Amino acid sequence: MLIFLVFLMWVEVGGYIDGFVDHQFTVDNETQAELRINVDLIVATPCNYINTNVRDATADLLMAAEKLSYEGVGFFVPPWYVVNGRRPVRTTELDEIVQRGMPAEFIQREQQAFEGQPACHIFGSFPVNKVKGEFHITAKGYGYHDRRRPPPEALNFTHITNEFSFGDFYPYLDNPLDETVRVTNEHLHTYQYELNVVPTYYRKLGMEVDTYQFSALNFDKSATRQVPGIFFRYDFEPIKLLIEEKRISFIQFVLRLTTICGGLIVISSWLYQTFDRLLVIAIGKKKASRGEERPHGLLE
């Protein structure tokens, strides 16, 4: 019984020191007008054929090409990337989030070098309004008039997603589209992603990480009647997820220890009485009480 008591006390002390992770959903009442989208993509089409834009529900049109960097590269798929599939869902622990929550910035290239390369590396961050919108990568002259329209056989929207995230850029945090690949053999093909974004706030022992989580659904089909390209449609949920490490108060901790000790005393007493009754039933009252009689003195 003593060993069991020590074990329970140890568990309570450990729980008090380590704390617990609390998850709460609240209404997102922040008046943040803008945030950033961070992208790192490789598209199997030369950079001089590609156009990138953002359009949102306020009818604003952002020329994302002015904010992003372009680099001509060869198209290579790392062997550990997920090809034409979904990444396994994994819930990241709070400790891991805090350890990896180191903000960074993309290196902005002043000169765009992409001549003669079969693929285009598109990377960087750009601001968007915090409303429903769409970021798309299309070929020049498709969906609108442009004299630089490339021939269909020069296009292929097979792409590698190294990074796609919202808010501050945390390169070591995992996102649903990171390290995924979409492959097609068609020259005119459309990829569409539907993203539902939830603001998420992590807090642990004074360390804070303010970021965004999102779920992703993807569709693709031949672009015989549609504009070929890659379309990321995003929408922001009106809720916010707060994940925080908390501890119970010291008074609650003492009360829980007292309750454990009191409960063990009551259980011990109940077990003793039960054992005594079973002993009386098994061997009889006289034998069970043998040795309890008061010894007689010489004068009695």
CATH number of domain containing 139:
2.60.470
Give the other-Cβ count within 10 Å of 260's Cβ.
15
What tokens appear for 94 in the block?
A: 């709070």
| H/E element, 292 | none
**Are residues 93 and 211 both part of a single domain?**
yes
Max mean pLDDT among 67-71, 257-261, 283-287 falls in 67-71
**Are residues 36 and 139 both part of a single domain?**
yes
**Are residues 166 and 276 both part of a single domain?**
no
As separate numbers, helices (DSSP H) first and strands (DSSP E) second, the chain gives 4, 14
pTM of the model: 0.73
% the chain with pLDDT above 70 = 78
Cα distance between residue 10 and residue 152, in whole Å: 69
What tokens appear for 3 in the block?
A: 């060993």
Residues 36, 40, 43: CA angle, nearest 5 degrees: 130
**Are residues 101 and 221 both part of a single domain?**
yes
Determine the structural domain holding residue 285 and report its residue range: 249-292
CA 56, distance to chain mean position in Å, is: 25
**Are residues 227 and 255 both part of a single domain?**
no
Residue 149 has pLDDT above 80, yes or no: yes
Residue 291 has pLDDT above 80, yes or no: no
Residue 169 and residue 97 in contact, taking contact as beta carbons nearer than 8 Å = no
**Poorest-pLDDT segment among 28-42, 96-110, 163-177, 199-213:** 96-110
Residues 26-31 have a mean pLDDT of 77
| Block residue for tokens 């285009």 | 120
**Are residues 67 and 87 both part of a single domain?**
yes
Band the pLDDT of 28: cuts 50, 70, 90.
confident
Residue 246 and residue 22 in contact, taking contact as beta carbons nearer than 8 Å = yes
**Is 6 a domain residue?**
no
Band the pLDDT of 109: cuts 50, 70, 90.
low
Cα distance between residue 205 and residue 172, in whole Å: 20
**Are residues 122 and 267 both part of a single domain?**
no
Which positions ≥6 away from 194 have C-beta within 8 Å? 216, 217, 218, 219, 233
Residue 168 and residue 178 in contact, taking contact as beta carbons nearer than 8 Å = no
